[in-house]
């Protein structure tokens, strides 16, 4: 009985976004909307996909980018209403679904061809 209610709420209130397919190791750019007081603006976040996890409407993906010497990771929901679009910049070939080891690579070793 409660499963029907949960399914109803998901179908009614959560919007399904259509984004291009991407996997771990791919370099993508996420454009999302930021609200600052009364103003809204679109900000981009470009980095390497570390992992995708979850299923259904609660699916998430983690992106890592380097800002100078500091690594920044950010988690996005696939059905987050503030995400405007996702661009796949480069496909990367990796053998794992979750590439946590990427955090410790530096220089030319931190490339996925």
Does residue 62 lie in a domain region? yes
User: Tell me, what's the pLDDT at 1?
Assistant: 64
User: Tell me, what's the pLDDT at 94?
Assistant: 92
**Three-state DSSP state, 94:** coil
Does residue 12 lie in a domain region? no
Least confident of 2-6, 11-15, 77-81, 83-87: 11-15
For residues 77 and 57, the answer to whether their CB atoms sit within 8 Å is: no
How many domains are contained in the chain?
1
The continuous run of DSSP H or E covering 77 comes out as strand 70-77
Does residue 10 lie in a domain region? no
Does residue 8 lie in a domain region? no
Q: Residue 50 maps to which CATH number?
A: 2.30.30.790
pLDDT confidence of 75, banded at 50, 70, 90?
Answer: very high
User: Tell me, what's the pLDDT at 93?
Assistant: 92
Round to whole Å and give the CA distance between 113 and 111. 6
Distance from chain centroid for Cα 68: 21
* Domain with 86 in it: 17-103
Residue 44, pLDDT above cutoff 80: yes
DSSP code string of 30-64: EEEEEEETTEEEEEEEEEEEEEEE--GGG-EEEEE
Does residue 6 lie in a domain region? no
User: Tell me, what's the pLDDT at 57?
Assistant: 75
Does residue 80 lie in a domain region? yes
* pTM listed for this prediction: 0.82
Write down how long the chain is: 113
Most distant CA pair in the chain, distance: 54
């Amino acid at each position: 009985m409660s499963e029907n209610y949960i399914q109803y709420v998901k179908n009614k209130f959560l919007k399904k976004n259509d984004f291009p397919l991407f996997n771990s190791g791919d370099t993508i750019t996420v454009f999302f909307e930021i609200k600052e007081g009364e103003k809204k603006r679109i900000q981009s976040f470009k980095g390497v996909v570390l992992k995708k996890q979850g299923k259904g409407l609660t699916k998430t993906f983690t992106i890592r980018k380097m800002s100078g010497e500091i690594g920044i990771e950010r988690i996005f929901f696939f059905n987050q209403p503030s995400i405007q679009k996702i661009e796949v910049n480069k496909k990367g070939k990796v053998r794992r679904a979750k590439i946590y080891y990427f955090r410790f690579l530096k220089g030319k070793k931190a490339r996925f061809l």
